[in-house]
Amino acid sequence: MPGARGASKGYSGRWLVLACFSLVACDGPPDRTPTLADADVATGRRLVTDKGCVACHTFPDVKWPRGGLGPSLHGFARQGLIAGQLPNQPGVLMQFVRNAPGLVPGTAMPAITMSDQEARDVTAYLLTLQSR
């Protein structure tokens, strides 16, 4: 099945990129210690409004706006993959929320400027979204 083989090649390439993200020697993510230890869920909840995520996504506890360009994030914490291709893990999600095109070339999700702490808070909030 040539199609299937092609797909798995792309996938392992993606893993190489991720491996690179965890190595200090690479050009490098700004935050080299991805941990949610000091993340604040309530701040993350506020940030998805302040940073404009709500313009493209719906969140279970945000009544308005309810953006429809991107996927609904109801139950996102229970999802195995981010954008259908990256493992849904805190360290990866933290990079994705502020630099989606860097991880998923060609994605319609834009890069969004935020600090390391803000990315942690947003990630912690997203990982509370259990129910659909």
Summarize as ranges the residues that interact with ligand HEC (CB under 6 A): 48, 51-53, 55-57, 69-71, 73, 76, 79, 82-84, 97, 104, 107-110, 112, 122, 126
Handedness of CA 83, 40, 28, 49 (dihedral sign): positive
Query: Which secondary structure element, helix H or strand E, spans residue 31, and what is its range?
Result: none
| Beta carbons of 43 and 120 less than 8 angstroms apart | no
Provide, rounded to whole angstroms, the least separation between the CB of residue 33 and ligand HEC. Answer: 20
The residue (of 71 and 90) whose beta carbon lies closer to ligand HEC is 71
Which of 17/108 has CB closer to ligand HEC?
108
Taking the least distance from each CB to ligand HEC, the nearer of 28 and 87 is 87
Cβ at position 1, least distance to ligand HEC in Å: 24
In the complex, the smallest distance separating the C-beta of residue 24 from ligand HEC, rounded to whole angstroms, is: 26
Four-CA torsion 64, 51, 99, 92, nearest 10 degrees: -70
User: Which tokens belong to 98?
Assistant: 């502020």
What 81-89 contacts at long range (C-beta under 8 Å, 24+ apart), as own/partner pairs, is: 83/107, 83/109, 85/11, 85/14, 86/14, 86/18, 87/18
Nearer to ligand HEC, 8 or 113 (CB): 113
Least Å from the CB of residue 25 to ligand HEC: 28
